[in-house]
Amino acid sequence: MQIDDVEKFMRTQMYKQMFKSITGDSANFQMVMDSLLKVIEIGGGTGTNSSIPNSNNGFLNSSMNSANIDISSRDIDSAVENASIKYNVDKDLINAVIQQESSFNAKSTSSSGAMGLMQLMPATARELGVTDGYDIGQNVDGGTKYLRGLLDMYGNSKELALSAYNAGSGTLNSKGVTDKSDIDRLSYETRDYVKKVMSYYGKNSLT
C-alpha cells in the first residue's frame, strides 16, 4: 500500500467514525458513507486539492442535517410510543394530532403562542407539568395526557375530545355539544380540525 493509499484509508476511517457517531447504525449512515467514498475517489483522496468534505463543505452540512432529521424522527417516534403506552391513547391518534397541529415540527410556534409538536399553550403546559414546550418528550407526554383527559371527559369519543382539544371544553359546554352529532354547532375551524385529524387517523390506522 502506497503512502497516498494509507492517507486515504486513514481519512476514510476518521470520517467513518465521525458520521457513525452522528447517525448511529441507521441506513442513513451507510448512505452518508457511500457518498463520502465517492467524493474521495473523485478528488484523489489526498493533498490540498482533495475533495474530501470538511465542516464548511455543503456535502458535510447536508449530511449532518439529514442525520439530525433522522435523529429527531426517532425521538418523536419514541416519545409517541411512550406516551401511547403511559396514557393508553392510540399512537395513530397522537400522530394524527401532531400532523394537524405542527406537521411534526418540534419548534413550531403559533401566533397565539402555542408550542411544539402538539401545540401546547403556555398555561396548559404549566398545568400539565411541562417545563419546556419544545422538548419532544415533554411536549408529547403533556399533549397526550391532556388528550387522555378529554377522551375520559367525553366518553372516549374521539370527535368530541378533538373538538375540545381545538376549541376548549368550555366552548363545547356553552354550545351544548354533548354528542358528536352536535359538532355542527361549533365553528368551521373546529369542525375542519376534527375532520382533518380523523382523516389522518384513518390513514395511519391503515398503514
Catalytic residues: 101
Handedness of CA 68, 74, 80, 86 (dihedral sign): negative
C-alpha cell at 192: 375542519
Distance CA 59, CA 12 (A): 15
* C-alpha pair distances (Å), 178 with each of 81, 136, 152, 172: 30, 33, 13, 7
Q: Residue 184 — φ and ψ, nearest 5°?
A: -60, -20
Handedness of CA 94, 118, 74, 141 (dihedral sign): negative
Distance CA 63, CA 65 (A): 5
Q: Residue type at 56? A: N
What is the three-class DSSP state of 108?
Answer: coil
